[in-house]
Structure 1
Amino acid sequence: MAKKPVGPVRRDFAPWEDPAARPFIEFRNVTKTFGDFTAVDDLSLKIHEREFFALLGGSGCGKTTMMRMLAGFETPNAGEILLDGQNLAGVPPYRRPVNMMFQSYALFPHMSVEANVAFGLRQEGMPRTDIALRVSEMLKLVRLEHFAKRKPHQLSGGQRQRVALARSLAKKPKVLLLDEPLGALDRKLREDTQFELMDLQYELGMTFLIVTHDQEEAMTVADRIAVMDKGRIIQIATPAEIYEVPNSRFVADFIGDINMMECKVVAHAEDGMRLHCPLFSCDIDVAQKVEAGIGETVWFAIRPEKVRISFDEPDSKVNAVHGEVWDIAYLGDVSIYHTHIADEETVRATVANRSRTVEKPVGWDDKVWLSWDRDAGLILTR
């Protein structure tokens, strides 16, 4: 029987599921230290051709160091880095078929847009007529052909970002490295540019590797995400799998909002498990089985949008808990309710605002019931 997909499937592309597929980029037991600090710790990773891959993590987790080693700006203390089957050891940055787009864009302020895009091509000695054709092609690709004669200071932030992208793509590298490329843009422009990047990567059929600390950005653009912490990869999966099936409390807590409670296993069933959480007056029935015996400690995790909030007591005595609304955040598209359950422990519920008016809105200090389906949450053992 075919594997049931987790979340929406953006495109029919999953070479990582084929054991025979050869990786395009491979880190083999790579370690990088700076004095006593280990930035990357015995890390192995495989990225496939035409993949949009994201390295996601907080500051100091090692994601930028990995990108800089691939670009040739840093040298590993141990391990190997391969690109298209070639060991990159000893290959200087300017000989590697990769290009990097920096967060600052690093445009030359005294040069026009077309001169900025052409700079790397001139450095390589490409004929002038070929440069003109390539620059025209790149500016058309990023929809800036009418801005060729302008200087960077005459452009908006989003336009400068697209100039930097065109310059990075002009030499037609095998891999484009994106180091926090959208961090300088405002929220609305950043969201629009994320979709532009996705479409551009698909159109070019190139391999993109993006480094970001922005969870939403990684979830939007990437085919797969590697969540990193302290120089190690904690989980590699598609965005939907990272969000819906995190492999640890660290990943579950790092990606989005989540309610997480320590529980004890009280029973096993054929299609799930029964848990007891001291904070709840009910047992928790979960449609998931894990390797944990009766009485062992596990953690129950559930996303706020999967929790229902109601004045009416549910029929079931499992997966339903009573509480008092403590805080409400109205965000336009959704409302977030913080409900105190016991000892000021808070459970969050997110409700979509599907209509402009509500007949009986839930307010502060209201007594409410929180409930959820047995397949809404998951059990974590680490």
Structure 2
Amino acid sequence: MKSLGSIRRSFAPWNDPAARPYISFEGITKRFGDFTAVDNLTLDIYEREFFALLGASGCGKTTLLRMLAGFEQPTSGRILLDGQDISGIPPYRRPVNMMFQSYALFPHMTVEANIAFGLKQDGMPKPEIEARVAEMLKLVKLEKFAKRKPHQLSGGQRQRVALARSVAKRPKVLLLDEPLGALDKKLREETQFELMDLQQELGLTFVVVTHDQEEAMTMADRIAIMDKGEVMQVATPAEIYEAPASRFVADFVGSVNLFEGVVRERDAKGTTIADNGGMTIRTDIAGEEASPGQPVWFAIRPEKIKVSSRKPANGFNAAEGEIWDIAYLGDMTVYHVKLDDGRIVKTSAVNAARVVEDALTWSDRAWISFPTDAGVVLTR
């Protein structure tokens, strides 16, 4: 099978049947009174993986992270770390460290004292502490700020101090709970790549909780999409985006158009769908789970749809409408096209040239069209 999208590195132990998971959640359920935060969840994470738990507030991702850290205990099920059941082991005895969104730095201590704190608690000899702190300061590029206190640092610098303190004890697993939430957009984007480089250099397993889709897509080797305490799909960022397993995943990650219809025919070459609005959709995706007469949804991303004033030559994967809204974003333009049946379709086009040949503006008549390999057929 051809790879979906580019990959950051040659690392995919989840595709190796002989590979043993480093972290395993086995049938984990967590209840708070009558509320079920995590519901019979099973999930595997591999050593040296940068893994993201992505979902809306209240989906159970932070509860799952806290159970791995030892701050919460499962109602049922077990958690294995490197083959050992860690249920009941207190947080301070687990080879796991957690970096909180608030950073939780000691305001009266200097940067180097904050980093050294956990090492002193463990009774490490003073010369070794000094060497480790110097190593961590160099790692996060804060050597010049060693004597400063947290209030004398920027948000990004405080984030680096918290990160250095978290990895100073060299845990097997680093847990990050919304680690970049307090940073501004530009700094957050820069720090995402720094975290990726740091994880590679340290060779640690990172598990990050976030509700920021772009953050998860940028940093993670794999993403688990969560909803109401359950995992909806686990896959690489490219697979999540290009081949979502359900309407929920397709709609949650990025922007998507969903066309509802009925399978007219299916064969080895693809699937033909009679869209409820009268459009005929032909796709190369065989839609193996879909049979003729079955209701389905065709999911397609805005950038896969072309909008033009010219009618396409073929009689399928096309519909006519009117330019309803336009958003010029500099590098791209987003069009909302209102089809003649009343539906709004989102499309986007990269502004590769300074002058657009087929300029479209509000209220213009326009056609949308897309190739047969542009979308995916969903049955749920």
Per the alignment, residue 284 of structure 1 pairs with 281
2:175 and 2:231 map into 1 onto residues whose CA distance is 19
Letter of the 1:128 partner, please give it: K
After TM superposition, give the deviation of residue 359 of structure 1 in Å. Answer: 4.0
Does residue 370 of structure 1 match 2:368?
Answer: yes
Per the alignment, residue 186 of structure 1 pairs with 184
3-state SS, counterpart of residue 266 of structure 1: strand
Letter of the 1:129 partner, please give it: P
Letter of the 1:368 partner, please give it: A
3-state SS, counterpart of residue 134 of structure 2: helix
1:342 and 1:367 map into 2 onto residues whose CA distance is 10
2:67 and 2:139 map into 1 onto residues whose CA distance is 29
After TM superposition, give the deviation of residue 99 of structure 1 in Å. Answer: 0.3
Per the alignment, residue 154 of structure 1 pairs with 152
After TM superposition, give the deviation of residue 43 of structure 1 in Å. Answer: 0.6
Match runs of 1:111-122 below 5 Å: 111-122=109-120
Letter of the 2:308 partner, please give it: S
After TM superposition, give the deviation of residue 270 of structure 1 in Å. Answer: 2.4
After TM superposition, give the deviation of residue 360 of structure 1 in Å. Answer: 4.2
2:268 and 2:71 map into 1 onto residues whose CA distance is 54
Per the alignment, residue 254 of structure 1 pairs with 252
1:359 and 1:69 map into 2 onto residues whose CA distance is 56
Per the alignment, residue 342 of structure 1 pairs with 340
- Alignment partner for residue 212 of structure 2, among 195, 211, 214? 214
Q: How many positions carry a matched residue from both structures?
A: 379
Letter of the 1:286 partner, please give it: T
- Alignment partner for residue 127 of structure 2, among 126, 129, 142? 129
After TM superposition, give the deviation of residue 47 of structure 1 in Å. Answer: 0.4
TM-score, normalised to structure 1, is 0.98
**Aligned 8 A contact 1:304 1:348 in 2:** yes
Return 5+ residue gaps in structure 1 as ranges. Answer: none
After TM superposition, give the deviation of residue 343 of structure 1 in Å. Answer: 4.0
Deviations 1:63-97 (A, max 9, x none): 00010000000000101101111110221000000
Per the alignment, residue 172 of structure 2 pairs with 174
Per the alignment, residue 195 of structure 1 pairs with 193
TM-score, normalised to structure 2, is 0.98
Stretch moving more, 229-238 or 293-302? 293-302
Per the alignment, residue 137 of structure 2 pairs with 139
**Aligned 8 A contact 2:241 2:253 in 1:** yes
Does residue 205 of structure 1 match 2:203?
Answer: yes
3-state SS, counterpart of residue 321 of structure 2: strand
**RMSD after superposition:** 0.9
**Aligned 8 A contact 1:58 1:229 in 2:** yes
Per the alignment, residue 84 of structure 1 pairs with 82
After TM superposition, give the deviation of residue 278 of structure 1 in Å. Answer: 2.3
1:242 and 1:15 map into 2 onto residues whose CA distance is 18
Letter of the 1:226 partner, please give it: A
Stretch moving more, 264-273 or 315-324? 264-273
- Alignment partner for residue 229 of structure 1, among 222, 227, 230? 227
Match runs of 1:30-109 below 5 Å: 30-109=28-107
Does residue 333 of structure 1 match 2:314?
Answer: no
Report the identity percentage.
Answer: 65
**Aligned 8 A contact 1:279 1:341 in 2:** no
